[in-house]
Amino acid sequence: MVVASNMKNLIGTVACTLFLTVNGFYSSSDDVVELTPANFNREVLQSDSLWLVEFYAPWCGHCQSLTPHWKKAATALKGVVKIGAVDADQHKSLGGQYGIRGFPTIKIFGSNKNKAEDYQGARSSQAIVDSALNSLRSMVKERLEGKTSGSDQGRQSGGGRKDVVDLTDDDFDKKVLNSDDIWLVEFYAPWCGHCKNLEPVWAAAASEVKEQTKGKVKLGAVDATVHQMIASRYGIQGFPTIKVFRKGEQPEDYEGGRSKADIVARALDLYSDNAAPPELLEILNGDILKKTCEDYQLCIIAALPHILDTGAAGRNGYLEVMMKMAEKYKKKMWGWLWTEAGVQMDLEQSLGIGGFGYPAMAAINYRKMKFALLKGSFSEQGIHEFLRDLSMGRGSTATVGGGTLPNINSVEPWDGKDGELPVEDDIDLSDVELDDLGRVEL
């Protein structure tokens, strides 16, 4: 019976120990706020209150000794200073963010939540209360002197990141998985330093990608500490993590650089993988020219020889060269246009290509009203070298004549056939008399 009784007590002790290990030291009935990656940003970093936060491990003997003092201090400071606790053994990412290497570690989050201070006092309830009140006094003094930096941990809203789509557990599937668009999604934690560094870059990239892909590639962001269902579904374990989503395909990890140029380049690659080459449009009216040049970073315009000079086969050869170049440079999202020589003379003159030297080509930046001319041959190699130099910012440019796009004549589209000379009217000379010198007498 004694053995059985001792065995029963031992089992109870082990069970109690296991309960503490699994559930930590604190419960909802305590005045200590249990903190996790899901609520840390909301409770601590976005708070105007002074916080003392203990990072502990359930198996740590010193942590177990501190627990009653921590609870007593929390009760004494209730309504004055916030007292929290993080099970850093369970929430390793949160402990890692603050460089926690030993237990217990106590951090003080005052006016500037970016710079938590180490608690250096004794581990008694009285010492903890005294230190908290001293820190509170310093924080109030800073506010009085206007030195407080406040709580700035929340992500920007509005204009700074207007083109980044905030995603949640509730709308992720509808917005991302059921969309025909391509998505780059950043999973972040508000307390993550690397995430803070990425935020303005991500916002700037989102705006450029939206413009260059006409909204077909979107950049989104998920607060993985709040929307844990989505983060868990995709196995997010570090921050920031970026994943690529395409309809009907498994998500893939983004493995590019973290600069704006890197992100935009990857987004354009994804877009162009499935994008059709841009249309090659004949300039039939002013609307076609204006819309194409407004919608694209550059519009490439060719003035092709008159149909009587080349025939349909010759013209189609030039158009084929342009289509190959449009395919080659489709990632640039440029507009492509052509016109017959002499049909749009105002346009030719504004670009300095009127009257001779056909075929000719110009690239217009509508926003800057600048243009560059093809100086080499109208061939795949010549146009490639021209466009390559433009891509690299080389080559000379000039201002569009008049500083704006000229008036455009409305014309009928080419019918795809060879040209025909105009039919001359027959002249009846039967009534014309000539004198002896061969002169016409009227």
Annotation marks residue 16 as catalytic: no
- Catalytic residue from among 16, 60, 293, 299: 60
**Phi-psi sector, 216: left (phi>0), alpha (psi -120 to 50), beta:** alpha
Q: How far is CA 1 from the centre of its chain?
A: 71
The rounded distance, in Å, linking the Cα atoms of 61 and 21 is 12
Q: Which of 16, 192, 293, 299 is catalytic?
A: 192
Q: Which residues contact 164 (CB under 8 A, 6 or more apart)?
A: 202, 203, 206, 219, 220, 221
Token pair, residue 164, equals 């980044």
Residue 63 among the catalytic residues:
yes
Q: Is 293 a catalytic residue?
A: no
Extract the tokens encoding 142.
Answer: 């800073």
Q: Could you give the CA distance from residue 268 to residue 155 in angstroms, rounded to a whole number?
A: 26
Active site residues per annotation: 60, 63, 192, 195
